[in-house]
Amino acid sequence: AQSVAQPEDQVNVAEGNPLTVKCTYSVSGNPYLFWYVQYPNRGLQFLLKYITGDNLVKGSYGFEAEFNKSQTSFHLKKPSALVSDSALYFCAVSQPDSWGKLQFGAGTQVVVTP
């Protein structure tokens, strides 16, 4: 069985400071990993994904994530957070033979203060 863990319910950061949102996974084989962001009462917006290749993935809005196979982690990072980055962030995983069928982490609320 596969699982995704986001250990922090909420992350607080001051505007301009680095932002990190943690994600670890437990799946067999070589999973596909994703980050999505959700604003209140809205659907999900895609940020980035890891399929294969370079472990450092760059995505939308200045976000990036590093795939670490040995630590089974896929942490989301942004060098300098903006107030507008305040939202709910989800890490998700799928298996190569089940593209589209995502299992989501519990989500991490990011609060960026001015």
Partner 1 sequence: GAVVSQHPSWVICKSGTSVKIECRSLDFQATTMFWYRQFPKQSLMLMATSNEGSKATYEQGVEKDKFLINHASLTLSTLTVTSAHPEDSSFYICSVYGPGQENSPLHFGNGTRLTVT
- Residue 101 as a binder of partner 1 (CB under 8 A): the answer is yes
Binding to partner 1 (CB under 8 A) within 51-70 occurs at 51
- Answer for which of 28, 41, 97, 114 binds partner 1 (CB under 8 A) is 41
DSSP codes of every residue in 41-103: T--EEEEEEE-SS-SEEE-GGG-EEEEETTTTEEEEEESS--GGG-EEEEEEEE-GGGTT--E
- Residue 103 as a binder of partner 1 (CB under 8 A): the answer is yes
Shortest distance in whole angstroms from residue 57 CB to partner 1: 12
Q: How many chain residues touch partner 1 (CB under 8 A)?
A: 20
Measure the CA–CA gap between 48 and 61, rounded to whole angstroms: 10
Token representation of residue 21: 């949102």
Shortest distance in whole angstroms from residue 110 CB to partner 1: 14
- Residue 49 as a binder of partner 1 (CB under 8 A): the answer is yes
